[in-house]
Amino acid sequence: MPSTVETPPLLEVSGLTKTYGSFKAVDDLSFTVFPGDVFGFLGQNGAGKSTTIRMLLTLIRPNAGQIRVFGMDLQQHRREVLSRVGAVIEKPDLYGYLTGQENLSLFARMSGKGITKDRIQETLELVGLQKRAGDRVKTYSQGMKQRLGIACALVHDPDLIILDEPTNGLDPQGIADIRNLVLSLSREQGKTFLISSHLLAEVELMANRMIIIDRGKKIVEGSVRELVDPQDRELHLEAEDDGFAVACIEKTRWADQLMRDQLPQVVLRMANAEIPALVDALVAEGVRIQALRPVNRLEAYFLSLTHA
């Protein structure tokens, strides 16, 4: 189970900044990940997510700021920290001419931890690849390659697992497989994840805490339960005659919840539980509703960033 905020953080990022000439890819970024968290790291493409992750893995150096992992300064204790971290950055680097088991064995040897054959088999079973372990990776689907990449990140039994856009290019079944794997590892083994994505809805299903960044700066950070509040929704309504629908809403108890700055679109801010009563009232007035779409306020805000 995710830890409470009284627990010492597993990862602390403070004032992290990375510039390329006059361009700030990451701008004074701070956030905290606690043991057992599945921490969603959200932002539009180009927001600075991958740059931040590369700094967390010491692939690039920040211009300013501090990263502490397991209570240690990352720059001062690089080897010790990274020995306890697993990562998949975008598409995993795998050898197509080798089998899944050979790839995993190679990564196990590279870890320098003396990983046993039993541990390799256990990891293949964990990601559901034991039946295809003897097949060459070039015959794998993209979802299978992603699972093998995660196996490579898990084989040395890390305490922190960093996944950068792990569901990119996957079909719905592949996305569900990755989600279920993350949830299983979190719940059954207490693993801590930092998962970068631009898909709010998917992260919402996995994460207990999240951050949204835009242009390298933090926009919001907190628990998913607090940020994704079912009592604070935008209801987007489409009717055969939107003007008539608005006139009818103005006569109901939901008139004050009509978002007039969104007109001529019909958008209300309301709780999920109120939606059936609103629909009944509008239908009784003769409004012909064509579509209803409840949108979480955080999702609406996030979409405004991704479509900027």
pLDDT at 224 over 90: no
Q: Which of 10, 18, 33 is nearest to 81 (CA)?
A: 10
Tens digits of per-residue pLDDT, 176-191?
888 998 999 999 888 9
Domain definitions of the chain by residue range: 11-224, 233-306
CATH number of the 11-224 domain: 3.40.50.300
Tens digits of per-residue pLDDT, 265-303?
899 988 878 889 999 999 999 999 999 887 766 666 676
Tens digits of per-residue pLDDT, 146-179?
899 999 999 999 999 999 988 887 888 888 888 9
Tens digits of per-residue pLDDT, 19-39?
999 999 999 999 999 999 999
The residue behind tokens 């690039």 is: 60
Tens digits of per-residue pLDDT, 233-250?
788 999 999 999 999 999
Q: What is the mean pLDDT of residues 78-105?
A: 91
In a 13 Å sphere around the CA of 248, the CA atoms on its Cβ side amount to 20
> Binning pLDDT at 50, 70 and 90, where does residue 228 land?
confident
- What whole-number distance in Å separates Cα of residue 306 and Cα of residue 302? 6
Tens digits of per-residue pLDDT, 126-146?
888 999 999 999 999 988 998
- What whole-number distance in Å separates Cα of residue 85 and Cα of residue 80? 9
Amino acid at 5: V
What is the length of the chain? 308
